[in-house]
Amino acid sequence: MSEADIPELNFPDGLMGFPDAKRFTLLAWGGEGSPFSLLHSLEDETLEFVVVPPLLFFPDYEPEIDDESAARLELTTTDDAITLVIVTVPDDPKGATANLLGPVIVNRHTLKAGQVVLSLPDDFIRRPLLAS
């Protein structure tokens, strides 16, 4: 099993705006060479998000998780965490943006996950995937 494909992730607090979406599956998406995965709700068939490991597009990104969030996700070291960012895909995908302010953090051992709000400038919420 790779990090792009995880059968079941548990979000005890849901996602912001989707508090009841607590169980997701992560599916690799886009075929060979694609960096993207789909975070697909196991409770609401119509709900899915495109996610991507941020370092592939933002090599300098180093999310610092606050102690409370780390404790909630039972993370003890940074190696415990898989970080994914949610991608907004408009009809013209060149305008795709990633939310670096509120990444999805997964505990790779327990597969407990949550959206963590980082202490970063507000514009990190919408960072273009492709340099303009």
Partner 1 sequence: MLVLTRRANQSIMIGSDVVITVLEVHGEQVRIGIKAPRSITVHREELYYAIQQANKAAASPTPAALEGLGAIRPLVPKSPPPSPDNSPS
Smallest distance, partner 1 to C-beta of residue 86, A: 5
- Does 112 help bind partner 1 (rule: CB under 8 A)? no
- Does 132 help bind partner 1 (rule: CB under 8 A)? no
Smallest distance, partner 1 to C-beta of residue 49, A: 5
- Does 46 help bind partner 1 (rule: CB under 8 A)? yes
- Does 84 help bind partner 1 (rule: CB under 8 A)? no
- Does 47 help bind partner 1 (rule: CB under 8 A)? yes
Spatial distance between the Cα atoms of 4 and 107, rounded to a whole number of angstroms: 14
- Does 42 help bind partner 1 (rule: CB under 8 A)? no
- Eight-class DSSP state of 65: -
Contact (Cβ atoms closer than 8 angstroms) between residue 66 and residue 119: yes
- Does 56 help bind partner 1 (rule: CB under 8 A)? yes
Residue 116 main-chain phi, psi, to 5 deg: -110, 135
Contact (Cβ atoms closer than 8 angstroms) between residue 56 and residue 62: no
- Does 16 help bind partner 1 (rule: CB under 8 A)? yes
Using CA atoms, how far residue 49 sits from 6, 25, 45, 52, 111, in Å, is 14, 11, 12, 10, 17
Residue 122 main-chain phi, psi, to 5 deg: -60, -30
Interface ranges with partner 1 (CB under 8 A): 1-4, 6, 13, 15-18, 29-31, 33-36, 46-50, 52-53, 55-57, 59, 68, 71-72, 82, 86-94, 96, 99, 101-102, 106, 108-109, 111, 115, 117, 122, 125-126, 129-130
